[in-house]
Amino acid sequence: MEGEGPRNPGKPLAYKTAAKRKRKIPLLAHSPIFLYTALMANPRLFGIIDKAVYDYGMIEKGDKLLVGASGGKDSTALIEYLAKRRQRKEEDFTFTALHIQSEITPPLPKAISCLFEKWNVPLVNIYVNVLGRLKPGKKMNCFWCATQRRTELLDYAIKNGYTKLVLGHHLDDILETLLMNMLGKAALCTMPPLLKYKKYPLAVIRPLYYAPVHLISEHCAANGYLTQTCTCTYQDNSTRKEARRQLELLTGGDDIKKRHILQSLKNIQTEYLP
């Protein structure tokens, strides 16, 4: 698997005054996408997503995207963003939302399906027998369930000619995974914003890469999303909960400190390492 580096990672926002509007508009150097976002007064969350999409070249002309739709706040906010981005004159991509249901999870809430219809988002539903795939003697857990869902997403994307699989992992997810790998596996790695497969004509992108979880929650609350959360009895995510607690202790919930941890992964000074 190969990743693609950012075009302009971590570059601070510059400000210049718009002569006609007599106000300051945040700009990314050489970024017409971010300028468009500022002028259209999109929600703050969408501006942050725009920056990640631009930095890593996540969406390209002619892309056919498949988005995992869990019914939760992350994927719903991401799908709203894509629906609104698709309306921009310079954009040339299509996308479909795919919801995977199983015997231990409920179907997509009607309210979310109605939102997708309102946003003109095609929706596909697939049923997967997650428990039936469990090998004898193995215990059901979140990792197994997530693996089966990811497999179905990849299979559907490949079989139907999609160019990219879009996942809703946000900044906190990325940093929690980093801590889990460092402390549990002695490995410095996490989920990348863009991952290209060598064996398949497919890439995975994570447009929420820069977005802190609280901002997504605030956006959904402000827009009245009635999202769902997994409440199955097989949940055993104590390791991630502990990583979440450790991240809070490290940063105090400060978005800037979280961003600094993320930026440090792109600013590795090998001469001061073993």
Q: What is the mean pLDDT of the chain?
A: 83
Selecting from 3.30.365.10, 3.40.50.620, 3.30.420.60, 3.40.50.460, what CATH number does the domain 42-268 have? Answer: 3.40.50.620
Scanning the structure block, which residue is given the tokens 């600094």?
260
Rounded Cα distance between 139 and 71, Å, is 25
Q: Assess whether pLDDT exceeds 90 at residue 271.
A: yes
pLDDT of residue 180: 95
pLDDT of residue 211: 97
C-beta pairs of 113-116 under 8 Å, 24+ apart in sequence: 115/76, 115/80, 115/225, 116/69, 116/79
Amino acid at residue number 35: L
Q: Assess whether pLDDT exceeds 50 at residue 81.
A: yes
User: Can you read off the two tokens belonging to residue 95?
Assistant: 């996308």
The pLDDT tens digits of the residues spanning 166-205 come to 999 999 999 999 999 999 999 999 999 999 998 888 999 9
pLDDT of residue 203: 97
Q: Assess whether pLDDT exceeds 50 at residue 53.
A: yes
Q: Which of 183, 188, 167, 185 is nearest to 243 (CA)?
A: 183
User: Can you read off the two tokens belonging to residue 265?
Assistant: 């992964």
Q: Assess whether pLDDT exceeds 90 at residue 4.
A: no
Rounded Cα distance between 85 and 81, Å, is 6
Q: What is the CA radius of gyration of the chain?
A: 19
Per mean pLDDT, which range of 61-70, 96-105, 239-248 is the poorest?
A: 96-105
CA distances from 117 to 59, 124, 140 (A): 23, 12, 34
Q: Assess whether pLDDT exceeds 80 at residue 5.
A: no
- Rounded mean pLDDT of 80-84? 96
- Rounded mean pLDDT of 209-220? 95
Q: How do the domains of the chain map onto residue ranges? A: 42-268
The DSSP-derived string for 58-94 is -S-TTEEEEEE--SSHHHHHHHHHHHHHTTSTT--EE
pLDDT of residue 8: 52
How sure is the predictor about 24, in pLDDT bands with cuts at 50, 70 and 90?
A: very low
Percentage of the chain modeled with pLDDT above 90: 60
